[in-house]
Structure 1
C-alpha cells in the first residue's frame, strides 16, 4: 500500500486553500438559472454539512447513502460524508423501490441524501422508516431537512479531518444485470491510486472542463469526473436534463468528454437526421468545404474544444469510431470494472485500435487465465464484496488477481482485446459453444441497429434480437417504407453470416418494437443489456420464429 499518495480529502483541502476563488462547479437550476460554486463556497458548504452529519449521529465507519441525479451537491455530500468519518453508499437514481430497499437494508445505511429524481414517489416506499433523510436543492418536495437550510444555520467544521489509506471509503453497488447487486468495497487507497495515476496518464489539469451527466453512482463517472476533478482541479459543468443536454454540452464546451457507445451512436444519429449521411460524405470529398463542414459539426456537437474523448462500459463498433475519426474526433476506448475502480486499461492518442481497449495502465498487472479469462491486479482492486465473503473468494484468486469475467487476448505490444463474457457464452443444441459478443459487434456496425442481443442456448442456430436506431425509426415514422431498411438488414444478415463458422451462423434477425431502455427493464442504469430479461420476454415466441423461412422478422 502506497501511503505516500494524497487522499481525496487532502486534494480537496489543497484546492480550497490554494485556489479559493477558482470556479469549481457550474450547476443549472432550471429556467436558465446557472449557479457557479467556487472552491471557497464549496468548502464552506461541505464543512457545514460535515458538522451537521456528526451532530445527526454519524459515527466513524457508518454507511451514509445518497440517491440523486448528478449535481454539485452529490459531490459535496460525498466529501461531507468522508469529513464526518462515514462511508458513502451511492444508489442509482433510476432504481425501483424494491432495489432501494434491498441496498439500504443490505448496506445498513441509516442516513440518506435525496436529490434530483424523476420519480421519487415510486422509490420512497423502499426507504426504511428509521432512515434519516436530507434533501438536496432541486430534490422532490418533502419534509426532510434541506441542504440549503442546514448550511445556512450550521457552523462549518474548522478542522481538516484526515482518513487513512486503509479505511473504507465507499461501497458501490453494481448495476446488476441479474439478481441482487453486490456491494463493492473500496478503500481510500484504491481510489487514490487510480485517481492519481489516471490524471497523469492524460495530463489533466485545472484548465480542463468536463460535463457530468452519466450517473455519478457508477464507477466510471465517479473516477473520470469526481476523482480527477479532486486531484487535478478540473471544472465540472452539470447537465440539467435530457431535453437540455445539447445546450448543456455547448455551454460546457468540455475539453475532456466521456460517453458510452450508445451516446456516441445517438450523437451520430442526430447529425444524420439533420443531413443525410450520403450528402455529408459528398461534402467531405470537396477539398475547400470539407474542413469547414467538419469544424461546424464539432461545434454543433459541443465538442470543438475537446482534446480527449473516451468511450467505455460497453464495446463500441469500429465503424462508429471510424466515422468520428473522419470528422476529427478520436475516441479512445478505456476498460475497467467497479471491482477495480474503473482503472485497468486505456488507449493512448494516436495509438487506438478498433476492437482493442488499450494497454494496461501504470501499476496494473494483467494475464490470461483459464478459459481465456482476463485477470487483472493493481492497487485499485477492491477489498471485497460487502458481507459476501464467498462471492469475494470467487472473484479474487489466491494471488489477488481479479477475475473480470471477460474473455480476451493480449497482443505482443500489450494491447487487450475483449472477445466476450464467460457467462454469456452459450451452447447450441448441436453441442457447439457460441460467444455472442463478436457477432453483436458485427451487427452493430449497421447504422440501423441501435442495440442487439444474440441468443441461442439449446437452439439449433443462434438468432439475434435487434432494436432499431433512431435514424431508422425516424425514417419509418416519417412515412418511408420499411422495405429499404428490410433490404439493408438482409444484406447485413448475409454479410455477417459469411464471416461466421457454421455453428455460429444466425438463423434470423428479429426487429423488436420500441427501444430498449432502463424504464422498461431491458437496460441497466449503465446501459448494459439484461440478457435474461430479453430471453424471458421472447422465450415463448422463439419456436414460432424458427418455423418460418424468413430471415428478417418484425415483431
Structure 2
C-alpha cells in the first residue's frame, strides 16, 4: 500500500489554494444571457466555509449524508466541499433521474438534506423528493424550488464562515456514487478521501493536468469520470474550470472555455463529427485534408469551430469508441485517448498513451494498477488502491463483485497483448447465442452501425434468431426527414448500403439480417438509456423482443417500426 500524503486530500487542497492563490479565478459560471460570474479561490473557500457552518448547525451526527441534485455549476462544487468540511458524506444524484429513482437513492442513502440546484426537468423530478426532507436551493435553481426552499446566497449572507482547517482522514468515507447501471436499481459505491487522492496521483501521470489548464464541465458531476477529472483534478492542480449553461449554448460555452483538456462520451464525439459533416460533406473534407498546406488550414478551422483549437489532450470513455471515429479525429489532428474504468475503481484503470498508436485498445493500465484475465470466462479483473470500500448497505453484492483474493470483477471481456495493452471484446453477459448455436459479441458490430450519419444510438441483438438484427434510433435531423416519403426512401437506401458494407466485414454468423428504425426516442425518462447514454439492453428486450421473429421473417434489410 502506497501512503498518501495528507497534502493531496481534497480539503487540504482547498486550504492550500485558499492560502497561496486567493485571488486566482477558480470557477467561471454562466448566469444566462451571455453573462458569467467568476469565483476566486478565496470566494470558493469562504462560501464553502459558510455553508459548512450552516450544515453543522443542523446538529446531524458526523458522517450523515447530504445529497446534491443539480446540473454542473459552481455551487455543486462548493456544496461538495461544504459537506466534507462539515464532517458529512455527499450523495450526488444525476440531474436527469426519474422520480422513483430519486426517492430510492435519497431513502437508501438516508440523506438528511438535499441541495436542489440547476435543473431542466424539475417539475417531473420534484415528486421524487420525500416530503419533509430539508432542501436548499441555488441561485440558478428552478423558480418554485427557490420559492419553496431557503437559497444559497441567503444562507451564506447570514452565516459566519467555519473557522480553522477541519480535515478528513484518508480512510474516511467521502461520498456515495450511485451507479447508473444498465440493469437493476443503482448501487451506492463507497469511496474514501484516500481513494480519490491516490487515483488522482496516478491519473495525472498519464493525463497531463496543471494549473495552466482549462476544462469545461458539462458531463454530470454525479458521474465518476467528471468527478475525478474535473472536481478532483481542479482541487489537485488549481486549473480553471468553466461550466456549460445548456445544450443550446454548448457551442458558445466551448468557445468561452477553449479547453486545453477535454473529455467526452462517444455519443457526443459522434455528434461533433455529424455537426462538421453537416457544414462540409465528408468526401470534400477528406479531399481537402489530403492537400498540403490547405489541409493544415482546414484542420485549424475545424478545431476552432469546435472550440478545441487549444486542446492538447482529448479523451473518450464510458462506452467503446468506434475505431472509424478515432481515425477521423486523428485526421483532424486531434488524437483521442480512449479510457476505461468504472465507478467501482474511480474510473482509474486503463487509458491509451498520448502519441502512441494504440487504437483498438484502451491502452496499458495506469501506474499502480494490476490487470489480469480470468482464464475460464475471459473477464477483465483488476485491483488498485482506488477500489471502492464496497456497496453501501449491500455486503452480499459487494462480495459478488470481488474475487476471493481481492480483484474487482469488471463484467467486461478482454485480452491483454504482449505490450500489456488491453483490448475490450464485450460484456460477459452481453454475448448471445443465435439459433445456429453461434455466439455473437454485439459491441464491435454496434461500433460499425453507429457510424452512419443518421444513427444516434443502436443495439445489436438476436438471441435464438437465425441471424442478429440491429435496432437504431435516428438523430433529430434524420428523424424529421424520415417523416416524408422521399426522405424515408433515401434513408432506407442509405441504411441498406451501410448494412451491406458492415456485413462484408463480419463472419457469416455475425451478419445482420436487418436493421429496424425505431420511432420511439430512447431517453432517461423512459428508462432505455442511462444518464451517460448507455443503452439498457434488458429494456430493449422488454420493448422489442416480441417483434423479432416477424422482423426476421420480413425479408427486408431496413424496417421502419410502426409508430
TM-score (ref. length: structure 1): 0.96
| Count of paired positions | 555
* Two-structure CA RMSD over aligned residues (Å): 1.7
How big is the shift at 1:193? Answer: 0.7
| Residue 230 (structure 2) aligns with | 225
In structure 2, how many angstroms separate the alpha carbons of the residues matched to 1:194 and 1:478?
52
For the residue of structure 2 that corresponds to 1:211, the secondary structure is strand
In structure 2, how many angstroms separate the alpha carbons of the residues matched to 1:479 and 1:235?
50
In structure 1, how many angstroms separate the alpha carbons of the residues matched to 2:314 and 2:412?
24
| Residue 198 (structure 1) aligns with | 203
In structure 2, how many angstroms separate the alpha carbons of the residues matched to 1:268 and 1:553?
26
| Residue 557 (structure 2) aligns with | 551
Do residues 63 (structure 1) and 65 (structure 2) align? yes
Q: Is the 8 A contact 2:4 2:197 kept in 1?
A: no
| Residue 123 (structure 2) aligns with | 121
| Residue 174 (structure 2) aligns with | 169
How big is the shift at 1:412? Answer: 0.7
How big is the shift at 1:506? Answer: 2.0
| Residue 347 (structure 2) aligns with | 342
For the residue of structure 2 that corresponds to 1:291, the secondary structure is helix
Structure 2 matches for 1:356-505, cutoff 5 A? 356-369=361-374, 370-469=376-475, 472-473=478-479, 476=482, 481-505=487-511
In structure 1, how many angstroms separate the alpha carbons of the residues matched to 2:513 and 2:522?
22
How big is the shift at 1:104? Answer: 0.7
The one of 516, 527, 530 aligned to 2:533: 527
Runs of 4+ in 1 over 6 A off after TM superposition: none
Q: Is the 8 A contact 1:174 1:184 kept in 2?
A: yes
Do residues 104 (structure 1) and 106 (structure 2) align? yes
Q: Is the 8 A contact 1:467 1:516 kept in 2?
A: yes
Q: State which drifts further: 218-227 or 544-553.
A: 544-553
Q: State which drifts further: 422-431 or 152-161.
A: 422-431
Do residues 27 (structure 1) and 26 (structure 2) align? no
| Residue 42 (structure 1) aligns with | 44
Q: Is the 8 A contact 2:373 2:379 kept in 1?
A: yes
| Residue 96 (structure 2) aligns with | 94
| Residue 539 (structure 1) aligns with | 545
| Residue 240 (structure 1) aligns with | 245
How big is the shift at 1:481? Answer: 3.7
1:382-409 alpha-carbon deviations (Å, 9 max, x no partner): 0110111111001011221100000000
In structure 2, how many angstroms separate the alpha carbons of the residues matched to 1:427 and 1:126?
39
For the structure 1 residues 516 and 354, does the alpha-carbon distance in structure 2 shift closer, same or farther, using more than 3 Å as the test? farther
In structure 2, how many angstroms separate the alpha carbons of the residues matched to 1:194 and 1:260?
20
| Residue 4 (structure 1) aligns with | 4
Q: Structure 2, unaligned stretches of length 5 or more? A: none
| Residue 188 (structure 2) aligns with | 183
1:75-134 alpha-carbon deviations (Å, 9 max, x no partner): 100011000111111111111111111001111111111100112222222222232111
For the residue of structure 2 that corresponds to 1:201, the secondary structure is coil
Q: State which drifts further: 44-53 or 510-519.
A: 510-519
Q: Is the 8 A contact 1:269 1:470 kept in 2?
A: no
In structure 2, how many angstroms separate the alpha carbons of the residues matched to 1:501 and 1:220?
35
1:27-54 alpha-carbon deviations (Å, 9 max, x no partner): 0111222000000011100000110000
In structure 2, how many angstroms separate the alpha carbons of the residues matched to 1:298 and 1:503?
40
The one of 496, 511, 515 aligned to 2:517: 511
For the structure 1 residues 448 and 97, does the alpha-carbon distance in structure 2 shift closer, same or farther, using more than 3 Å as the test? closer
For the residue of structure 2 that corresponds to 1:431, the secondary structure is coil
For the structure 1 residues 166 and 288, does the alpha-carbon distance in structure 2 shift closer, same or farther, using more than 3 Å as the test? closer
In structure 2, how many angstroms separate the alpha carbons of the residues matched to 1:514 and 1:294?
37
Structure 2 matches for 1:176-325, cutoff 5 A? 176-325=181-330
Do residues 53 (structure 1) and 91 (structure 2) align? no
Q: Is the 8 A contact 1:319 1:445 kept in 2?
A: yes
For the structure 1 residues 163 and 286, does the alpha-carbon distance in structure 2 shift closer, same or farther, using more than 3 Å as the test? same
1:354-390 alpha-carbon deviations (Å, 9 max, x no partner): 2211110011000001310000100000011011111
How big is the shift at 1:523? Answer: 1.3
In structure 2, how many angstroms separate the alpha carbons of the residues matched to 1:429 and 1:206?
57
1:417-454 alpha-carbon deviations (Å, 9 max, x no partner): 11000111122233332221122122233334332101
How big is the shift at 1:349? Answer: 1.1
Q: Is the 8 A contact 2:326 2:336 kept in 1?
A: yes
For the residue of structure 2 that corresponds to 1:353, the secondary structure is coil
Q: Is the 8 A contact 1:238 1:248 kept in 2?
A: yes
In structure 2, how many angstroms separate the alpha carbons of the residues matched to 1:545 and 1:310?
38
Q: Structure 1, unaligned stretches of length 5 or more? A: none
Q: State which drifts further: 435-444 or 231-240.
A: 435-444
Q: Is the 8 A contact 1:508 1:552 kept in 2?
A: yes
TM-score (ref. length: structure 2): 0.95
1:183-208 alpha-carbon deviations (Å, 9 max, x no partner): 10111111111112212323311110
Q: Is the 8 A contact 1:490 1:552 kept in 2?
A: yes
How big is the shift at 1:477? Answer: 6.8
| Residue 15 (structure 2) aligns with | 13
